[in-house]
Amino acid sequence: MLEQLLYAVRRIPQLALRPVARRWFKRIGRNVKFDPLDHFNYREIEIGDNVFIGPGAWFAGRKITIGSNVMFGPRVMIQAGRHDYSATDGLMNRQPEQPSELVAGVTIGDDVWIAANVTLIDGARVGDGSVVAAGAVVTGDIPPNSIAAGIPARVIRARMPVAEWKEYRRSVLRKHQTS
Ligand SMILES: CC(C)(COP(=O)(O)OP(=O)(O)OC[C@H]1O[C@@H](n2cnc3c(N)ncnc32)[C@H](O)[C@@H]1OP(=O)(O)O)[C@@H](O)C(=O)NCCC(=O)NCCS
């Protein structure tokens, strides 16, 4: 029964989700596809055009910026924010959320693939044209044109040689730049 319900919910056409999406995102571009059961909160997410977000996404926190032509595999988690844990006069579950001025945010460039089960925490930045391998935890900067993997995510190699990347950026990326 639950399975049938979930199946039905997942078949809601993307067009019907558009009005809801406008309330979930601060800015949402054209042709952004996501699963109706994905979770987006705080209405602080800015997202470009032609973005695919897989099922099980959980994007929470302030200052989340996603470029255009980005794809997310299933179960990607973005947590742009955290709890403070410095007070020693009270229990952990009484500690406040970090104030938004101290949140660095999470930024993902254009033409990026974030694979399955990746977690991006506050301060994560993924440059244009990069790939983050399945299961990675991104805690800092992943430069453009990189393949990154692991916990914490580290660059394992360049996606393409520098000369090719320069040409790719000049021709392919620029051609598809949308906003
Ligand atoms: C990122 C990815 C595409 C890289 O694939 P690739 O270019 O063929 O890389 P390789 O398999 O040659 O691996 C290169 C090295 O990285 C390591 N590696 C690959 N994927 C890794 C991962 N997810 N986490 C940690 N290390 C990884 C390999 O073990 C290998 O290490 P070695 O050189 O010490 O042997 C692939 O690993 C991946 O994560 N795929 C995601 C699949 C997915 O999420 N699909 C959902 C659909 S959106």
Is 27 part of any domain? Answer: yes
Q: 3-state DSSP call for residue 6?
A: helix
Q: What is the pLDDT of residue 7?
A: 77
How many domains does the chain contain in total? 1
* Residues marked as catalytic: 83
Q: What is the pLDDT of residue 138?
A: 98
Neighbours of 136 (CB within 10 A): 23
CA-proximal residue: ligand 1, atom 5 (nearest)? 133
CA-proximal residue: ligand 1, atom 14 (nearest)? 156
Chain segment 19-34, per-residue pLDDT in tens: 878 888 999 999 999 9
Task: Please give the distance, rounded to the nearest whole angstrom, from the Cα atom of residue 150 to the centre of ligand 1.
Answer: 9
**CATH at 121:** 2.160.10.10
Cα separation, 139 vs 137, in Å, equals 6
Q: Is 116 close to ligand 1, i.e. is its CB under 6 Å away? A: yes
Q: Is 55 close to ligand 1, i.e. is its CB under 6 Å away? A: no
Chain segment 70-115, per-residue pLDDT in tens: 999 999 999 998 888 888 888 998 888 888 888 999 999 999 999 9
Total-model pTM: 0.93
Is 1 part of any domain? Answer: no
Buried b (16+ CB within 10 A) or exposed e, 144-159: bbbbbbeeebebeebb
Is 104 part of any domain? Answer: yes
Q: Is 134 close to ligand 1, i.e. is its CB under 6 Å away? A: yes
Structural domain including 150 reads 10-82+95-178
